[in-house]
Copies of this chain bind each other. A is one copy, B any other.
Amino acid sequence: MSRTPAYLSGAADRVMIQDLLARYAWELDHGSPEGWADAFTVHGIFEAPNLGFRVEGRESLIAFARDVHRTLPNVHHVMTGFVIDLSGDRAAGRCFLNEFMARPEGMYNNLQGWYQDEFVFDGNRWRIEHRRAYVAEPESMGTGKVGEYFREFSLAVAKYRVK
């Protein structure tokens, strides 16, 4: 039943990276743009390779979160299945993403995908250095009511399009 110090430390790092990602989700869905940017390093990158956009650095991250808040209220970024590979003060992670959206007429599963992440520990806490979001079946986001609700978001993120 006794576990090694490395085992205890590795488990604690996984917990604290999940704590970081929980704060990320809260700030994006119910919090502040600045709070969301705090989840990243100052030069942190958020990109969605198969949607073709990329946001880099604190000021751009704040502007992006402001666009999300304005165009997509009452969305939940539900992350599960946290696989985290540790290497000292760095870590590589991935997790599932399932998004749900509450609207007066009902609830939607609006997006399914996954994240691939690079994290760094600064001696005190973890931050995201680079987060890649991948969307499964991206065309489904453009159909029906979900497509209607996402129209303004798609227009807003056009400015982050990778040329």
A interface, CB within 8 angstroms of B: 1-3, 6-16, 18-19, 21-23, 25-26, 29-30, 74, 76-84, 88-89, 94-96, 98, 100-112, 114, 136-137, 139-140, 143-144, 146
Q: Decide if the interface of chain A is mainly helix, strand, loop or mixed.
A: mixed
Find out whether the CB atom of B104 lies under 8 angstroms from the CB atom of A139: yes
A25 CA to B139 CA, complexed, in Å: 24
A86 CA to B30 CA, complexed, in Å: 21
A139 CA to B139 CA, complexed, in Å: 29
A30 CA to B95 CA, complexed, in Å: 11
Nearest B-chain residue to A87, judged by Cβ: B1
A105 CA to B139 CA, complexed, in Å: 7
Find out whether the CB atom of B30 lies under 8 angstroms from the CB atom of A114: yes
